[in-house]
Structure 1
């Protein structure tokens, strides 16, 4: 899965999106902070590849993107919108692919602009970045080639607080950054910086009203690093484990902070680290929580209807979903993890 999959909906309920071999399902709180309902299949009966990208707009609608096999033996991207956790999602809508036909070209990413339009990004067959966006009057615009070369899997797309969509991708020895100069305008490759990005570790989020930040693991040093346009990558802490971190901007003891979480490769528990937003040079320290998890377990973070941090872990091999919330006290004290 690409993007956070624990998401607070328009009505304050939390949802968890999970991928099986041929479908996407969703579990949601029946009431905010209350019990959870059973998993429900998203987008109708279409068979999917086991990949999912998620994005959420300012309207709190959740946009889902996956690959679907075609009758000709190839695969195309499909998109669905989930308006509220307890409602059914729209049926999967074909988005096509950047070029040609054939197998999936990579893990997609999706971000939603200030007008609620989804922007889908995926590596094309030439190794560059393809993008297609929903049109203002309905339907989809054309696929656009945003250039780049030798891109690795899973770009990271994010909408800033000003509604401008930005996207990050990794190539051998480099981190690439595209953005719109203004919301709703064309994309341009704005900056390329030297970086040894470990494949599959990009995670982007808005960290202020003006800027977004991308987090990644440096493949040479094993450090979790942060980068923003116009700066150099800053090491934050040694990565706790493989894969991307989960990240959320939150308030801790009155301070604007960024909280990151990752399954620890050593103890198998969830490791948390918090630091003042956009002040990565101060460093951060991991604190582990909860039981040891299977090696394939992933972590996601969100804020609930009361603004409290919620963390979830999900293991595809076991289907086990665990949840914890921040206690109503100083610091980052968490409740006991519980199975959902």
Structure 2
């Protein structure tokens, strides 16, 4: 899944979106903190090509985007909206292709603006980025060419606290940053920075009213943070080879950023530091059992604003959760299978 796959719905229930063969499945809490529903398909019987993308707006509606086969040798993107984790999602709706038609070009990314409109991004056949956005009163605008060159497959999209949509993409030797200048505007390239980002490690998080922080792992194996307008800084050595996930929360009354990553040992590693103050230092603490090599990690806040971590391994189909204890620090309750 490209994006956070552990989410909190507007009713306070947690839900997870899981990729299973040619479909996306969802599970959800029956009640906040309670038992979980069995898995069910999202959007009906539609053959999908992983990985799908997921984004959530301030209204806490979940938007999902995925590729699907159309005619032999060609694919198109489809979109679904899920209003609440325990309700049925809308059927998948075709939204086209960045080059009008052709084969799958790369994994999509999606962000939802302050008005609840999904913005879908994907690399085009020419190596740039294409975008299509929802209209405020239904339907979709035409596809737009956002430019860029030699963009890698991975994209990460995020909505800042301002409600404006931003996009980050890795290119050889650097990272590009697009941002809307105003609500409803087409995002434009605002900045590029020299960086050696490893493929598949970009993750963006809104960290203040004026800034978004991009996390990535560099070729030296360090986890770095970059806020456009500044220079990348090293946070700490990466715990493992995969991407990091992050969430903001209050820890002992302080605004902190919590990081999680599957470590080289196979367990989940956690770190925390005061938001946007990387110089304060951070260190990893491992938790839980050793996980299969395909396990992924996601973080969210539950209905009580507690940090919740989830892991899922497609190879064994096991979903595990751990919640922060009601005590100082970042101590977690025991991991449990759900």
Shorter-chain TM-score range = over 0.9
Question: How many equivalent residue pairs?
Answer: 338
Does the aligned pair in 2 maintain the 1:53–1:66 contact within 8 Å?
yes
Q: What residue is the counterpart of 1:181 in the other structure?
A: 181
SS in 1 for 2:91: coil
Deviation at 1:313, TM superposition (A): 0.4
What CA distance in whole angstroms lies between the structure 2 residues aligned with 1:118 and 1:72?
28
Aligned equivalent of 1:269, options 259, 267, 270:
267
What CA distance in whole angstroms lies between the structure 2 residues aligned with 1:99 and 1:156?
20
Correspondences of 1:1-340 after superposition (within 5 Å): 1-219=1-219, 221-265=220-264, 267-340=265-338
> Structure 1: any 5+ residue segments left out of the alignment?
none
Deviation at 1:86, TM superposition (A): 0.8
Deviations 1:66-93 (A, max 9, x none): 1000034311111100000110000001
Aligned CA RMSD, in angstroms, stands at 0.8
What CA distance in whole angstroms lies between the structure 2 residues aligned with 1:95 and 1:283?
44
SS in 1 for 2:279: helix
Deviation at 1:152, TM superposition (A): 0.7
Deviation at 1:100, TM superposition (A): 4.3
Does the aligned pair in 2 maintain the 1:223–1:237 contact within 8 Å?
yes
How does the TM-score come out when normalised to structure 1? 0.98
How does the TM-score come out when normalised to structure 2? 0.99
What CA distance in whole angstroms lies between the structure 2 residues aligned with 1:210 and 1:183?
15
Does the aligned pair in 2 maintain the 1:235–1:283 contact within 8 Å?
no
What CA distance in whole angstroms lies between the structure 2 residues aligned with 1:186 and 1:68?
26
Deviations 1:2-53 (A, max 9, x none): 1110000010000010011110000000001000010010001110012111
What CA distance in whole angstroms lies between the structure 2 residues aligned with 1:336 and 1:72?
48
> Structure 2: any 5+ residue segments left out of the alignment?
none
Q: Which stretches of structure 1, 4 residues or longer, exceed 4 Å deviation after superposition?
A: none
What CA distance in whole angstroms lies between the structure 1 residues aligned with 2:21 and 2:308?
27
